[in-house]
């Protein structure tokens, strides 16, 4: 049995408490400074306010000021912050963790640099660790997994990635259940890039749903030809970007494509894509969603910015990324949706 402390009481971090606890571990959830009401609710009801199912018995809930208490004798820290908490996690959490700690993060995203590189969040966190001389074991989770379906025990297969296979095998032993299945990979850049890229491309696929609702009515029958066409081309562009990122295996594309599939069928990215497809501009869509965080928009803008810089350098070709560049136009220039169908042909 291990002691697993989850930092961040959002939906995905909290969902991971289910396999962790049901695999016989002691589990503690620590809310960030933004999670106070969630932790209060968990303490009072043993249930996350967004979940229909109670937590397994025996989980401890802590406010951020109680981090030291929650960390006592901890073996594994799971980082459950959103992409908007990446800097906070680097500045406030990583420096105070014991040097022996194995860290497993579920935060998906990429950061672009002025010279056109795309850095994964583990890259950014490793830079912080190197700057303070801290030898933590950084690992990450990628793959198709929605929080509410993990809570419902739907069969789920993900990938844990990190630099040390022995650490990955240990983490797999800690977290595996009969419904949570784990592949292992030392290609951190490949896995983390693939599962981040799917965010912007899932928005692109959802555009077709909105376009069809605009043409045939909101309650009209779903059309799958157009969704499938954009899905297929999205995978093609993801493959080219994984080559750009020097990913080591096509397994990474499979993980990313699976994550792309599940993202299209639920969540905030689907909603914003549908609204844009119906004809709203990005500001109107954000207003409609009433402040819901949209990580997919951030990822799409960052990736497109890096791609455009590399097109200008002659490293990448504009004609290889018609979907990404159109998504970027919709988001950053408020251009109307006009999917470049013929550019998908070969």
Can you give the three-state secondary structure of 171-214, one letter per residue? HHHHHCCCCEEEEEECCHHHHHHHHHHHHHHHHHHHHHHHHHHH
**Pairwise CA distance, residues 278 & 295, whole Å:** 21
Confidence band of 295 (pLDDT split at 50, 70, 90): confident
15/119 same-domain check: yes
Query: What does the block give as tokens for 108?
Result: 């998906």
**Angular region, 43: left φ>0, alpha ψ -120 to 50, beta rest:** alpha
Q: Which domain holds residue 200?
A: 189-344
Instruction: Assign 290 a pLDDT band (cuts: 50, 70, 90).
Output: confident
* Nearest CA among 36, 59, 58, 39 for reference residue 48: 39
If asked whether residues 171 and 235 sit together in one domain, one would say no
Q: Are 256 and 139 in the same domain? A: no
- 45-92: pLDDT as tens digits: 999 999 999 999 999 999 999 999 999 999 999 999 988 899 999 999
pLDDT digits (tens, 9 = 90+) for 171-184: 999 999 999 999 99
Instruction: Enumerate the β-bridge partners of residue 321.
Output: none
79 with 96, same domain: the answer is yes
Quickly list DSSP for 98-167: -TT-EEEE----EEE-TTS-EEEHHHHHHHHHHHHT---EEEEEESS--HHHHHTT--EEEEEEES-HHH
The CATH number of residue 226's host domain is 1.10.1040.10
Quick one: 237 and 296 in the same domain?
A: yes
Q: Which residue's entry shows tokens 């791609």?
A: 307
Let me know whether 110 and 228 are in one domain: no
Which of 186, 210, 235 is where one domain is finished? Answer: 186
pLDDT band at 291 (very low <50, low <70, confident <90, very high): low
The reported pTM is: 0.93
Give the H or E element holding residue 76.
Answer: strand 76-79
Cβ distance 286 to 331 under 8 Å? Answer: no
Q: What tokens appear for 247 in the block?
A: 């990913």
The proportion of the chain whose per-residue pLDDT surpasses 70, expressed as a percent, equals 99
247-289, pLDDT tens digit by residue?
988 888 999 999 999 999 877 889 999 999 999 999 999 898 8
The whole-chain average pLDDT of the chain stands at 95
Q: What's the CA gap between 155 and 271, in Å, rounded?
A: 25
Residues 138 and 210 grouped into a single domain: no
Please state the domain count of the chain: 2
Residues 60 and 10 in one domain: yes
pLDDT at 117 over 80: yes
CA atoms within 13 A on the CB side of 2: 21
Domain C-terminal end among 186, 221, 241: 186
Looking up residue 157, the CATH number of its domain turns out to be 3.40.50.720
Cβ–Cβ under 8 Å, residues 163 and 265: no
Q: Which residues contact 201 (CB under 8 A, 6 or more apart)?
A: 234, 237, 238, 260, 323, 324, 327
How far is it, in rounded angstroms, from Cα 46 to Cα 330?
42
pLDDT tens, residue by residue, 37-57: 999 999 999 999 999 999 999
My answer on whether 337 and 193 are in the same domain is yes
Helices 251-264, 268-278: crossing angle, 10 deg rounding: 60
**Do 230 and 257 sit in the same domain of this protein?**
yes
pLDDT confidence bin for 293, thresholds 50/70/90? low
151/15 same-domain check = yes
d(CA 43, CA 86): 26
Residues 180 and 277 in one domain: no
pLDDT of residue 32: 97
Domain boundary among 186, 214, 233: 186
The helix (run of H) or strand (run of E) holding residue 302 is: helix 295-312
Per-residue tokens: 69: 């208490």
**If you count them, how many residues does the chain have?**
346
Please say whether the beta carbons of 208 and 223 come within 8 A. yes
């Amino acid at each position: 049995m291990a002691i697993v402390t989850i930092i961040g009481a959002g939906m995905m971090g909290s969902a991971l408490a289910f396999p962790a606890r049901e695999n016989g571990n002691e589990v503690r959830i620590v809310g960030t400074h933004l999670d106070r009401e969630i932790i209060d609710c968990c303490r009072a009801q043993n249930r996350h306010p967004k979940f229909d199912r109670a937590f397994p018995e025996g989980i401890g809930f802590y406010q951020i000021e109680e981090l030291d208490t929650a960390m006592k004798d901890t073996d594994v820290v799971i980082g459950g912050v959103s992409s908007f908490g990446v800097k906070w996690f680097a500045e406030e959490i990583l420096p105070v963790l014991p040097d022996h700690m194995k860290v497993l993060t579920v935060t998906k995203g990429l950061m672009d640099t002025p010279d056109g590189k795309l850095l994964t969040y583990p890259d950014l966190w490793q830079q912080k660790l190197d700057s303070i001389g801290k030898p933590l074991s950084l690992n990450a989770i990628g793959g198709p997994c929605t929080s509410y379906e993990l809570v419902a025990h739907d069969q789920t297969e993900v990938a844990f990635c990190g630099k040390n296979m022995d650490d990955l095998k240990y983490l797999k032993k800690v977290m595996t259940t009969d419904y949570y299945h784990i592949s292992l990979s030392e290609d951190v850049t490949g896995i983390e890039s693939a599962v981040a890229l799917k965010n912007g491309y899932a928005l692109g696929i959802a555009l077709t749903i909105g376009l069809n609702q605009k043409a045939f009515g909101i309650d009209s029958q779903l059309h799958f030809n157009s969704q499938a066409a954009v899905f297929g081309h999205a995978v093609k562009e993801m493959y080219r970007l994984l080559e750009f990122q020097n990913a080591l295996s096509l397994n990474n594309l499979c993980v990313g494509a699976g994550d792309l599939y599940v993202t299209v069928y639920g969540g905030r990215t689907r909603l914003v894509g549908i609204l844009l497809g119906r004809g709203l501009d990005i500001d109107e869509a954000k207003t409609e969603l009433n402040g819901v965080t949209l990580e997919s928009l951030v990822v799409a803008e960052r990736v497109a910015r890096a791609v455009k810089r590399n097109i200008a350098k002659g490293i990448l070709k504009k004609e290889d990324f018609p979907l990404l560049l159109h998504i970027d136009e919709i988001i950053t220039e408020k251009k109307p949706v006009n999917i470049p169908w013929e550019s998908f042909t070969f």
